Amino acid sequence: MPRRPMIAPSLLSADFARLADELARIADADWAHVDVMDAHFVPNLTLGEPVVQAIQVVSPVPLDCHLMIEDPERWAPAYAELGARNVTVHAEACTGDPRALAKDLRAAGSLAGLAIKPGTPIEGYTEVLRDFDTLLVMSVEPGFGGQAFMPEVLDKVREARRLVDTGHLTLLVEIDGGINADTIEAAAEAGVDMFVAGSAVYGADDPSAAIAALRAQAARSFPEQ
C-alpha cells in the first residue's frame, strides 16, 4: 500500500465556544487532534473526558486524543472507551511499562499511541513501540499552540521511518507542533505519515482549503516509493 499524507487539525487553535461548528469546518481532515492538558505534565490546562465525550458524538472525523497528562495509566483508557480512534500517551508520563497501557487501549477499542517530547530520544523505546500503532514526535515543547517548529526532531522521524520500512515496527509516524506551509515539506521528506496542524488550519480563512493545501504539499514531498 503506498503511503499517503494525512492531516489532523488541532482543536487547540479552534474556538472552544463553538467546537461542533469548528469540527464541521474540518470534515475533510483525516483525524481531529484533541489536546488534553492537565496543568501538571504541561503548564497549561485545556479540556478533559466530558468535553471529549461530547465532541465524539458530533465529530465528522475520528478523534486523535493527545494526552499531555500525568498518570496516563489511570486516565487514558476512558478516552478509548468513549470512541476515540487513537489515544496517545506521553512516554515521559508513564510510570509502568507502556506496553501494558497499549494493551489496555487496544482492548478498549482504540489505536495506541506513544508521544515523545523534543528532548526524549527514540532509542529507549524501539522495542516498546512494537506494541503501539502510532508514534507522535513532538516538534515543539508540549503545552501551547503557535510555537516554532524544531527541525532537529526530524532525525527521530527518520529513525522511526527506517524502523517501519525495514519491518521492525508497524505504526503511523505522527508529528505535532509548528507544522505549516514552511515546515511540512521537511517533515514529509523525513517520513511523517500524519501531520498535526493547529494554527495553520484554524488560523486560515478557509480551514478546508488549508487542509487540502497542506496535504498536497506533503504529497509532493513524499519520498519515492
User: Least Å distance between CB 33 and Zn ion?
Assistant: 6
Is residue 206 annotated as part of the catalytic site, yes or no? no
| Residue 33 makes contact with ligand DX5 by CB under 6 A | yes
Quote helix, strand, coil % in the chain, to nearest 5.
Answer: 40, 20, 40
Q: How many CB atoms lie within 10 A of CB 180?
A: 18
Q: Which does 198 bind (CB under 5 to 8 A by kind): Zn ion, ligand DX5, none?
A: ligand DX5
Q: Which three cell numbers stand for residue 151?
A: 527541525
- Mask for 3-22, x = binds ligand DX5 (CB under 6 A): -------x-xx---------
Q: How far apart are the first and last CA of the chain?
A: 10
User: How far apart (Å, rounded) are the C-alpha atoms in residues 202 and 204?
Assistant: 5
32, 84, 196, 204: which one binds ligand DX5 (CB under 6 A):
196
User: Least Å distance between CB 201 and ligand DX5?
Assistant: 8
Rank residues 110 and 163 by Cβ distance to ligand DX5 and give the closer one.
Answer: 110
User: Least Å distance between CB 183 and ligand DX5?
Assistant: 9
Cα–Cα–Cα angle for 102, 177, 219, rounded to 5 degrees: 90
Cell numbers 483525516 correspond to 30
Q: How many CB atoms lie within 10 A of CB 128?
A: 15
Q: Smallest Cα–Cα separation from 25: which of 155, 222, 207, 158? A: 207
| Residue 64 makes contact with Zn ion by CB under 5 A | no
5, 145, 191, 207: which one binds ligand DX5 (CB under 6 A):
145
Rank residues 66 and 117 by Cβ distance to Zn ion and give the closer one.
Answer: 66
| Residue 176 makes contact with Zn ion by CB under 5 A | yes
Residues in region 15-44 near Zn ion by CB under 5 A: 35
User: How far apart (Å, rounded) are the C-alpha atoms in residues 153 and 218?
Assistant: 17
User: Least Å distance between CB 34 and ligand DX5?
Assistant: 9
Q: Which does 60 bind (CB under 5 to 8 A by kind): Zn ion, ligand DX5, none?
A: none
User: How far apart (Å, rounded) are the C-alpha atoms in residues 87 and 102?
Assistant: 9
> Residue number with the shortest CB distance to ligand DX5?
198
| Residue 178 makes contact with ligand DX5 by CB under 6 A | yes
User: How far apart (Å, rounded) are the C-alpha atoms in residues 63 and 44?
Assistant: 21
Q: Please report, as ranges, the residues that interact with Zn ion according to CB under 5 A.
A: 35, 66, 176
